Structure 1
Amino acid sequence: MRKVVHAAGAALIVLGLGGLAAEGVLLKWALWFGGLLVAHDALLAPGIVVAGTVIGRWPQSVRSGLIVAGTLLLATLPTVSALGRRADNPSILPLHYGVNVVIVLAAVALLAVADHLLTRKD
């Protein structure tokens, strides 16, 4: 079964790359994907190592909440900073993404606090 799933995944990757090549955006996609890898290796992974060192004694729920919040901020940076927004097309990035990110961060914080309160040992 595993070989079937791997073969299906490989076929979908080839199909996707073929579509990118047909549209003429394969190089742009490769640069974006490379940038994603650099962002992970240069920002996210070292940040988690530093956070683990600095807050190693903090409760697991707090550490997990901080990792989720950091990942969320890194993933939403392009929309919050409005990269790609154009005045001639208001349908591109039409929402207030900064406010939405703050709402989601508040939910993450609330869940981390609730988890800490429910799982702490008195």
Structure 2
Amino acid sequence: MSVLRYGLGGLGLVLIGVGAWRVAAQPDPVDVLVWLAGAAVLHDGILAPLVLVVGLLLVRRSERGVLRGALVVAGSLTLVALPLLVRPGEPPNPSALPLPYGRNLVIVLGVVATVAAAGILVRRWRVRRQRGAEDD
């Protein structure tokens, strides 16, 4: 197990080095570093605590995992699509927004919510069925 652990750690260090080298090769690496810092703050300071708090407040203990998973997926999808949606003017690359991203984001978020609701309903149904079998 330690060989695998050291191998993965070494691979991680190599990938960090490649990433640092690619950032340093950028014409303006400060912009990339500011974006990376903003992404870390947004995730660790807003998205993760929000998912945990909503999961605690909204559902019973057995269903928190489903809701948290749906919130993580929905938040990640929104964070990926949002910069393209709120950027003013035409995108520098015409192929960046070939489809209506706003509408498609709403559709995908609806699918995520539907799958999460179905998961919660199936879980509740299984619990009721199991309780009914125990009562017999």
Aligned sequence identity (%): 38
Alignment map for 1:34-49 (pairs within 5 Å): 34-49=37-52
CA distance in 2, matches of 1:32, 1:115: 35
Gaps of 5+ in 1: none
1:52 equivalent to 2:51? Answer no
Larger radius of gyration between Structure 1 and Structure 2: 2
Alignment map for 1:10-29 (pairs within 5 Å): 10-29=13-32
Q: Name the Cα RMSD after superposition.
A: 2.5
1:70 equivalent to 2:75? Answer yes
- The aligned counterpart of 2:84 is 79
Aligned residues: 121
Q: Secondary structure at the match of 2:25?
A: helix
Check the 8 A contact 2:91/2:97 in 1, yes or no.
no
In the superposition, the TM-score normalised over structure 2's length comes to 0.70
Q: 1:33, CA displacement in angstroms? A: 0.4
Q: 1:108, CA displacement in angstroms? A: 0.8
Check the 8 A contact 1:48/1:67 in 2, yes or no.
yes
Q: 1:67, CA displacement in angstroms? A: 4.1
- Between Structure 1 and Structure 2, which shows a larger proportion of helix residues? 2
Q: Secondary structure at the match of 1:90?
A: coil
- The aligned counterpart of 1:109 is 113
CA distance in 1, matches of 2:16, 2:88: 26
- The aligned counterpart of 1:98 is 102
Higher mean alpha-carbon deviation, 88-97 vs 5-14, is at: 88-97
Gaps of 5+ in 2: 129-136
1:31 equivalent to 2:34? Answer yes
CA distance in 2, matches of 1:89, 1:64: 33
Check the 8 A contact 2:85/2:101 in 1, yes or no.
yes
In the superposition, the TM-score normalised over structure 1's length comes to 0.77
